[in-house]
Amino acid sequence: MISVEPYWRNFIDGRWVDGGSGRLSVEDPATGEPLAEQAIADAADVDRAVSAARACHDSGTLTQMRPCDRGRKVRRMGDFLLENLEEIASLLTLEAGKPLWESRIEVEGAARYFEYYGNQAETLEGRSIPLGAGYLDFTVYEPFGVCAQIIPWNYPLEMAARSIAPALATGNACVVKTPELDPLSSAWLARAAEAVELPAGAVNVICGLGGEAGAALSRHPGVDQIVFTGSVETGSRIATEAARNVVPCVLELGGKSAALVWPDADLDRFMDSVRWGILFNSGQVCSAMSRAIVHHSIHDEIVERAADLARSISVGPGIERDTFGPNMGAMISRGQRERAEGLCARAESDGARAVTGGRPLNRPGWFLEPTILEGVAPDSEIAQTEVFGPVLSVIPFRDDAEALAISNGTPYGLVGGVFTSDVERAMSAAKRIRAGQIFVNEWYAGGVETPFGGYGKSGYGREKGREALLNYVQTKNVAIALSSGA
Ligand code: NAD
């Protein structure tokens, strides 16, 4: 067991500082016991962080750097995380509850964002636009300046890296508001910025309460662009603040994503996708497979196999779950577990049946049994609401039109899955599913390179891939009138 430092500070303008709102106790979700304290920023701290980012941007240190040099620094931030992988992963497991092997994947995923966007730094090129003989016209991309990023607790490192890396690669300075429930490991992002000698103010990492520091950051007039990842409710508030200041924002929100499964699908592969799709990170994933919409002829077989899989999962402290296998950790908090438990209980009173799971474990910590529900009505609460827990609803369909209607019948549209060996059916469904990303025959197929974002209430704008670079820049057109006209 690693020893965890008892107190973690915020990082503003290149210095480690206390918080104006004091300290918050961070608990270990596997035990419910306090783990360490985190400095909590107030509005004045937010103001200092925004001013530091502004000064960094105005100094030109980042913007005038050759893009390849900026890119190298960004890449080296990822290398730094990998050099400290074991320490960061253990800390993340202790504060977030996920198995150690999952935390390692998260640190590697965060590092991969720095690698990918470091490599992209020198690839963003403008174009020249023909205006006839009298003009030379071209476009350039310029960073917005101060980029605010508000981060959720389910993947605190990966979600922050997903925004910090492209923001820095394109020359912005960042103010990152980390989540209250598991803010400790994010200090390593600031340590990475220090290690690669980014200028003071280029990366500010502050934890604070959403309604206080988060709200102060989203309405701060010194912020030029906002990236928010989190719930629909908060996203809508942040978009309102962004609109007041007339600054762009990207919203990466929740989902109620569905896999559509036809009888010609490879069901072994589908079961592998169930394992990853709803049990990875205890189902606390925005793009989780929370609904399986399956052809009626294979419904019973799928319910039985999914229930066997769920029963085979060893649920317990993440720190004891070192290697990949049929295991799962705690949910993030008592509140999240009780919310998921309540949704399962109400689903049963609405007529669904928990084939397995639906109950907390009888031990300290915030554990919920992996849960498979059948008999779920497509318009019931459990089929419409993001549980954000290890709970899969299985819903039968008779024909393709019904499958697609159920799949598209929620306000969300983050991802969708299609499981079939018929490529035409796969393509037709992929076209008709209302979501920003479609997985065919493998849930979570894709990577840092593939654009990600929502339709409908799942948000707007895209993170990941080349598309995300364009969130962090604006286009300037330069038209030169040539006196010779030649
Ligand atoms: P949340 O909206 O409660 O909090 C997210 C962040 O917003 C936290 O840092 C919080 O402190 C801050 N916040 C809260 N109130 C605020 C306010 N009034 N002003 C400014 N900031 C405020 O979400 P959560 O519970 O941390 O995360 C779970 C949600 O995030 C789920 O809905 C999940 O689907 C979504 N999510 C989406 C993606 C994606 O990429 N689409 C990724 C991960 C999580």
Question: In which residue are the tokens 């549209």 written?
Answer: 413
- Catalytic residue check, 249: no
Neighbour-count burial of 394, counting CB atoms closer than 10 A to its CB (0-12 exposed, 13-18 middle, 19+ buried): buried
By DSSP bridging, strand 314-315 and strand 289-295 are unpaired
Whether the Cβ atoms of residue 407 and residue 259 lie closer than 8 Å to each other: no
Task: State which amino acid sits at residue 428.
Answer: S
Which residues are CB-neighbours of 120 under 8 A, at least 6 positions away? 71, 166, 169, 466, 469
Ligand 1 geometric centre to CA of 189 (Å): 19
pTM of the model: 0.97
What is the C-alpha separation between 391 and 374, in angstroms, rounded? 11
What is the C-alpha separation between 206 and 189, in angstroms, rounded? 11
What is the C-alpha separation between 334 and 448, in angstroms, rounded? 32
- Catalytic residue check, 252: yes
Reference 39, options 244, 196, 183; nearest CA is: 183
Closest Cα to atom 12, ligand 1: which residue? 210
Which residues are CB-neighbours of 299 under 8 A, at least 6 positions away? 374, 394, 396
What is the C-alpha separation between 49 and 426, in angstroms, rounded? 48
Reference 358, options 411, 407, 291, 311; nearest CA is: 311
**Phi, psi dihedrals of residue 425, rounded to the nearest 5°:** -65, -40
Ligand 1 geometric centre to CA of 252 (Å): 9
Whether the Cβ atoms of residue 329 and residue 317 lie closer than 8 Å to each other: yes
Which pLDDT tens digits describe the chain residue by residue (486 residues)? 679 999 999 999 999 999 999 999 999 999 999 999 999 999 999 999 999 999 999 999 999 999 999 999 999 999 999 999 999 999 999 999 999 999 999 999 999 999 999 999 999 999 999 999 999 999 999 999 999 999 999 999 999 999 999 999 999 999 999 999 999 999 999 999 999 999 999 999 999 999 999 999 999 999 999 999 999 999 999 999 999 999 999 999 999 999 999 999 999 999 999 999 999 999 999 999 999 999 999 999 999 999 999 999 999 999 999 999 999 999 999 999 999 999 999 999 999 999 999 999 999 999 999 999 999 999 999 999 999 999 999 999 999 999 999 999 999 999 999 999 999 999 999 999 999 999 999 999 999 999 999 999 999 999 999 999 999 999 999 999 998 655
Set 252, 341, 386, 463: catalytic member: 252
Ligand 1 geometric centre to CA of 228 (Å): 7
Question: In which residue are the tokens 């109620």 written?
Answer: 256
The tokens for 283 are 């189902």
Largest CA distance in the chain: 84
Ligand 1 neighbours, Cβ below 6 Å, are: 150-154, 159, 177, 179-180, 210-211, 214-215, 218, 229-231, 234, 237-238, 252-255, 286, 386, 388, 414, 459
